[in-house]
Structure 1
Amino acid sequence: MATKISTALVIGGGVAGPVTAMALQQAGIEATVYEAYEGTAVGVGAALGLAPNGLAALDAIGVGDLVRQLGDPTTAIVLQSWNGKRLAEIGSPGSLEPTRLVMRSDLYRALYDEARRRGIRIEHGKRLTGVEEGEGTVTAEFADGTTATGELLVGADGIRSTVRTLIDPAAPQPRYAGLQGFGAVSTEAGLVPDTGGKMVMTFGKHAFFGLQVIGGNAVWFVNLPYPEPLTLSEAVSRGAERWLRVLAEACADDRSPAPGLIRRTDPAELLITGPMEIMPRVPHWSRGRLVLTGDAAHAPSSSSGQGASLAIESSVELARCLRDLPLPRALDRYEELRRPRVEQIIKQAERANSNKAAGPVGRVLRDALMPLGMKLMSQEKLSRPLHHRIDWAEPAA
């Protein structure tokens, strides 16, 4: 007779890993996190948005208020063209709290420390190389020669997931979205207009630029259309000085703060975030006692504004299903609850990416049609993904 599990191995110690472990612990399942890198990811990554639905999922495991202390609210997103023409403004409905802009490093540290405080073990230097399933167990094999055994192995190991390949050797790999990412935090915010708590996004002639002024600092990013699908390490190897020249040239004609901010950015302060990628549909989220969560299963590009929030939601939903249902039904139910939602948001992100990389003709059409399109689309429809809530108390069956 099938029984519910009591132990789990969580592969990956980024954002989804600690959240998964804390959610599993709350569900009565002992979880240990195994991270491939020897050190922590403190200081790694740029800013990201945590949407109301992601914050609500963190509330389900008692971490929401901790994370709210880290960031600043983004009350609306203002879209404008390269010449400064306002195309649209998208605000959060009054019934929802605003998205919070946080540095990924701060979010990582808060979740990592909270997981440790709750007694969750996080082991570093554990790069997964293989798995061995037994009768009611699964054993993880690591590159250092050690092993670990539990009743379930959760792949929270990101967009280049090893667990995904172990579940299905034919599983798709990330697809380059045609954009390279860059950003910085400038202390010279006084030299640019205060955005009033709004994120101002500019569809430039040759690049997409975003800016929000927070606490005297200008947090900005650029999505640069780039035909060559460079990896993060390849992009970094080309050097910040070279990229700043490229970005300055791409944004030179735009009537936005981009040219001035890029010109005044010290190369040491430029964050090179690498290629923007989208995961094609992953056919199999689980096999036997292996299951995926977060970016390993579904990775919308950053254009969605939902990457971290969806990863958090899936981690919490997985734990709820494992709390209430035995294997394999728990994994089937988890996928039933999550797949339609995440795949719809991924499709929306693909459309957003195509707008960012529009050519001369596409740019004219976009700027002409977007204001009308936004007027025709109700605020309720635009904000629908933000309303999603996981009721932890509700049975998953």
Structure 2
Amino acid sequence: MRILISGAGPAGLALANCLLDVGLTPVVVERAPALRTAGYAVGLHLGGWEVAERLGLIDALKARAISIQRADYRDAQGRRLFSYNYRHLAAACDDRMLVIMRDALQEVLVERLAGRVPIRYGTTITALADEGEAVEVELSDGARERFDLVVAADGYRSGVRELHFGPHSAFLKPLGYRSAAWRMPSSREMDCDYAAFMYIDLQAGLYRVGDGTISTLFCWRDDDTSRVPPEMRLTQIAGRFSDWPTLIADTFRHGVDWTNGFFDTICQVNAPEWSRGRVVLVGDAAHCMTFLSGQGTSTAVVGAHVLASELASRPLEDALAAYEARLRPKVSRLMKQSEQIGGHYVPRSRLGLAVQSWIIPALMRPPLVRLMARKMESSSLSIA
């Protein structure tokens, strides 16, 4: 079976690896001219960890993981709110979790594919026609090819989904926030691994990547969903955060190359159907939980494994139905949880800020951290 995957992000690359391992033939196309370096840190744990183990990638991922132990939270004036040690949560999960930059995860997945799966950068699907026995695909380089299956792994604003399933407006559910992230040289020493600053409707964070750079992550409440031109983005962020403590204010002194950064409205995607004919959605194209959930990457990786295993063991139509039936119930529950998290991540009031300052450190210490780990395990996806 020859399968075209649109998108060389974690979902698409994990799927290519899993398909290869079950004897199928993946081809990957990616809009960017090279492997994307944009994005923020992602977590890999539980089911996602299991998939990485099966692919033999744990050692490579550990070697590129970010070391996050102490996290310090302060208010907009720099006054300390609370601290916690991330290692307590990792230990409660039997150390089967890690934090890694999105581009580093992609590099590990690409390295395993080297010489075995073609990745065509600077290429997109511009048209497709499901002819019943195959899908006729037209690519942006002018090529026309036939595939047994086309996979949309091109993110929550999926171009393939728009071509085959309908416009973005039918799938995107804005949650009332915007977020931004970019990497920059580390010009100031941090006395912790993750420094976060919280206030009503606002949160900013910095974490050390380990290569002489730090990564930013900003999130703020904003009901406006209109596109912000790249030249206006830093101004919009600075307008909310530039009078914050120096560690945050310094991030606006340098320009941002938004081709290697992230700026967007935070939207969920919960597609009513994950496949139609010979086209199937995976990862954020099917079920974007947003970074607020902390489960998006692992869920996408598990979904890739499940899809590959079903395709290897059943006729196509049955495999696509089984893929969705196995994952959708738990994904739907995770989506609801993710929607509720926003109000905690970005407090709506002084009371909310105070409650978070008490709850988070309590949950991240024994014995409550073990209960939280068990709740994560019960709600996350499994490859079984």
Q: TM-score normalised by the shorter chain: which range applies?
A: 0.7 to 0.9
TM-score by length of 2: 0.83
1:282-361 mapped onto 2 (5 Å cutoff): 282-360=271-349
In structure 1, which of residues 8, 14, 17 is the aligned counterpart of residue 12 of structure 2? 17
Matched residue count: 372
Which range moves more in the overlay, 303-312 or 264-273?
A: 264-273
Letter in 2 for 1:14: G
Letter in 1 for 2:372: L
Q: Do the aligned partners of 1:208 and 1:224 also contact (CA within 8 Å) in 2?
A: yes
Sequence identity (%): 20
C-alpha distance in structure 2 between counterparts of 1:380 and 1:320, whole Å = 32
Partner in structure 2 of residue 103 of structure 1: 101
In structure 2, which of residues 156, 160, 165 is the aligned counterpart of residue 163 of structure 1? 160
Letter in 2 for 1:61: L
Do the aligned partners of residues 309 and 235 (structure 1) sit closer, same or farther apart at CA in structure 2, a change above 3 Å counting?
farther
TM-score by length of 1: 0.80
C-alpha distance in structure 2 between counterparts of 1:201 and 1:340, whole Å = 34
Alignment partner of 1:282: what SS? coil
Letter in 1 for 2:12: G
In structure 2, which of residues 42, 47, 50 is the aligned counterpart of residue 48 of structure 1? 42
Post-superposition CA distance 1:109-143 (Å, at most 9, x none): 332233224x1011234321332223432222224
Q: Do the aligned partners of 2:200 and 2:350 also contact (CA within 8 Å) in 1?
A: no
Do the aligned partners of residues 93 and 46 (structure 1) sit closer, same or farther apart at CA in structure 2, a change above 3 Å counting?
closer
C-alpha distance in structure 2 between counterparts of 1:372 and 1:115, whole Å = 41
Q: Do the aligned partners of 2:135 and 2:150 also contact (CA within 8 Å) in 1?
A: yes
Q: Which runs of 5+ in 1 are unaligned?
A: 1-5, 253-257
Post-superposition CA distance 1:1-49 (Å, at most 9, x none): xxxxx22111222222222111111111111112234x11343233333
| 1:176 Cα offset (Å) | 2.7
Letter in 2 for 1:263: D
Do the aligned partners of residues 294 and 242 (structure 1) sit closer, same or farther apart at CA in structure 2, a change above 3 Å counting?
closer
C-alpha distance in structure 1 between counterparts of 2:72 and 2:332, whole Å = 26
C-alpha distance in structure 2 between counterparts of 1:248 and 1:202, whole Å = 12
C-alpha distance in structure 2 between counterparts of 1:243 and 1:95, whole Å = 35
Post-superposition CA distance 1:303-333 (Å, at most 9, x none): 1122222111111111011111112111111
Partner in structure 1 of residue 372 of structure 2: 382
Which range moves more in the overlay, 177-186 or 342-351?
A: 177-186
Q: Do the aligned partners of 2:204 and 2:248 also contact (CA within 8 Å) in 1?
A: no
C-alpha distance in structure 1 between counterparts of 2:240 and 2:110, whole Å = 36
Do the aligned partners of residues 372 and 308 (structure 1) sit closer, same or farther apart at CA in structure 2, a change above 3 Å counting?
closer
Alignment partner of 1:62: what SS? coil
C-alpha distance in structure 2 between counterparts of 1:51 and 1:21, whole Å = 20
Alignment partner of 2:316: what SS? coil
C-alpha distance in structure 1 between counterparts of 2:217 and 2:123, whole Å = 33
| 1:51 Cα offset (Å) | 3.2
Do the aligned partners of residues 30 and 214 (structure 1) sit closer, same or farther apart at CA in structure 2, a change above 3 Å counting?
closer
Letter in 1 for 2:205: G
Letter in 2 for 1:69: A
Partner in structure 1 of residue 142 of structure 2: 145
Q: Do the aligned partners of 1:155 and 1:291 also contact (CA within 8 Å) in 2?
A: yes
C-alpha distance in structure 2 between counterparts of 1:365 and 1:141, whole Å = 55
1:41-190 mapped onto 2 (5 Å cutoff): 41-75=35-69, 83-86=79-82, 91-97=89-95, 99-117=97-115, 119-169=116-166, 172-177=170-175, 178-190=177-189
| TM-align CA RMSD | 3.3
